[in-house]
Structure 1
Amino acid sequence: MTATAQSAEEHGAAEQLAAMPEDWSRALAIVAHPDDLEYGAAAAVAEWTARGKEVTYLLATRGEAGIDTMEPAEAARVREAEQRASAQVVGVAEVEFLDHRDGVLEEGPALRRDIAAAIRRHRPELVLTINHHDTWGDAPGSPWNTPDHRALGRSVLDAVGDAGNRWIFSDQLETDGVLPWAGVRWVAVAASPAVTHAVQVGEEAARKGLASLLEHRAYIAALTDEDPEAYARSIVYGGLDRYGHRNGGRRSVGFELHAR
């Protein structure tokens, strides 16, 4: 992911964002690629884990098609290692990969099935995912979102319902020994053009959010000739300050929140 969502205040909206719910203990963050969470959401993860909340990462791909100058097998190895190091920075110990193909994720039962299985295993109350909308912003001509993000985000929203229905992917109950899980209370969409809620982050969480993006050095080097730290700082702190303007003036991460 190389772009962040454009905030609603660009169209004159001045409403304050609602606070993200805090009465949960387990979250599962489900995204398409290594680095998707680090373009903003990781600072919120750092804030949550510092408060004792448990967060697990689930990635649909290993990002093997994301570096033009690197063969896919090598890119997968490098980007998986970068993602695991990045997760550790923000207090996430468990990172899983589903091994779907990078760049050609398909919305449908196969992806929903794998996501539902993970939700049944981890039993989260909060599910965090990436922007599933067509564009990164809500203004005419906003940058077009990628097929992987659209397919992944929409499949996550559907799989949350699948996970709670014992008659959908019911073979998982027998072969994997999992039980249906209807305990997801919210789905939070990061980098959405339709932000509704925000979580304030302190200086330490913001610092960790920046450090987590900087762990993706091979990917950043392939994206830009800019100094990696300057590039990462502009992305992370720019997003935190943007949402902070609508959340009491304190740096924040914005989400589109769906209650279940």
Structure 2
Amino acid sequence: MPDDWQRALAVVAHPDDLEYGCAAAIAAWTDAGREVSYVLATRGEAGIDTLDPARCGPLREREQRASAAVVGVSEVAFLDHADGVIEYGPALRRDIAAAIRRHRPELVITLNHRDTWGGTAWNTPDHVAVGRATLDAAGDAGNRWIFPELTEQGLQPWDGVRWVPWDGVRWVAVAGSASPTHAVDATPGLERAVRSLLEHRTYIEALTDEDPETYARTLLTGFAEETGKRFGNRPAVAFEVFPR
């Protein structure tokens, strides 16, 4: 993975999206002194069948903030789009472009934006919409004539210029891609990644009857080891990286 950057912004649809496989990389980056912030399109309010959305949303927000803190992330924002029915389009692109202009990251992270996870494992509409909108918003954030109201609100374009090549979004890294191009060694951050996922205890307990710690450890260790087979046989978190 590129390492000549200082600020990253992770943009995903739901609480727990980053914890299912990406948090080990984020822990390693914050350990190295880099800044990582999270933006979530929803509060995950439709994610637990046994909980009414009005109760579920605030609970999942609390779990996400606690989860982020485990891997060194203190800034977590929510865009308040409706869970399960996020619409790809200008409104979503504008909200994400505004977040990019506000945080001014060199690296933007998102989740798989394709229809499947590879093969016939179907992706969710929310992941597809947010992933695709994030890739597009990385460009929108640098163009003052797209969403000019953002400039009027004091959010100046965030784009590279010839004489300041480190300005602007330089890469968008997509986690969960079936076509990864880069990887981060998961070993230093794997234990904190497990603890980070465990903060989503209410969600996990609704998802499985398995002991939550056994579930989280087995899942994340398995993901990292399987990914590592493609990247030097070390546990890894993989990304498909799109340079800009």
TM band (smaller chain): over 0.9
1:154 aligns with 2:139: no
Residue in 2 aligned with 1:179?
156
Give the CA deviation at 1:233: 1.2
1:203-255 deviation per Cα after TM superposition (whole angstroms, max 9, x unaligned): 4x100001000000000011111111111112211111111112222211000
C-alpha distance in 2 between matches for 1:208 and 1:100: 29
Residue in 1 aligned with 2:82?
101
Residue in 2 aligned with 1:88?
69
Gapped runs of 5+ residues in structure 1?
1-19
1:2-24 deviation per Cα after TM superposition (whole angstroms, max 9, x unaligned): xxxxxxxxxxxxxxxxxx10000
Residue in 2 aligned with 1:31?
12
SS at match of 2:30: helix
1:165 aligns with 2:143: yes
1:72 to 42, 48, 53: 53
Residue in 1 aligned with 2:216?
232
C-alpha distance in 2 between matches for 1:104 and 1:98: 14
Deviates more, 1:40-49 or 1:224-233: 224-233
Give the CA deviation at 1:130: 0.5
One-letter amino acid matched to 1:72: P
One-letter amino acid matched to 2:59: V
One-letter amino acid matched to 2:150: Q
One-letter amino acid matched to 2:185: Q
Give the CA deviation at 1:101: 0.3
One-letter amino acid matched to 1:201: A
1:254 to 227, 238, 244: 238
Gapped runs of 5+ residues in structure 2?
160-167
C-alpha distance in 2 between matches for 1:159 and 1:30: 11
Residue in 2 aligned with 1:13?
none
Taking only aligned residues, the RMSD between alpha carbons, in angstroms, comes to 0.8
Poorly superposed stretches of 4+, deviation over 6 Å: none
SS at match of 1:37: coil
1:41-100 deviation per Cα after TM superposition (whole angstroms, max 9, x unaligned): 011000000000000000000000000000001100110000000000000010000000
C-alpha distance in 2 between matches for 1:248 and 1:129: 24
Residue in 1 aligned with 2:32?
51
C-alpha distance in 1 between matches for 2:83 and 2:169: 27
Give the CA deviation at 1:201: 2.5
C-alpha distance in 2 between matches for 1:112 and 1:194: 24
Aligned length: 236
Deviates more, 1:89-98 or 1:244-253: 244-253
Give the CA deviation at 1:186: 0.3
TM-score (norm 1): 0.89
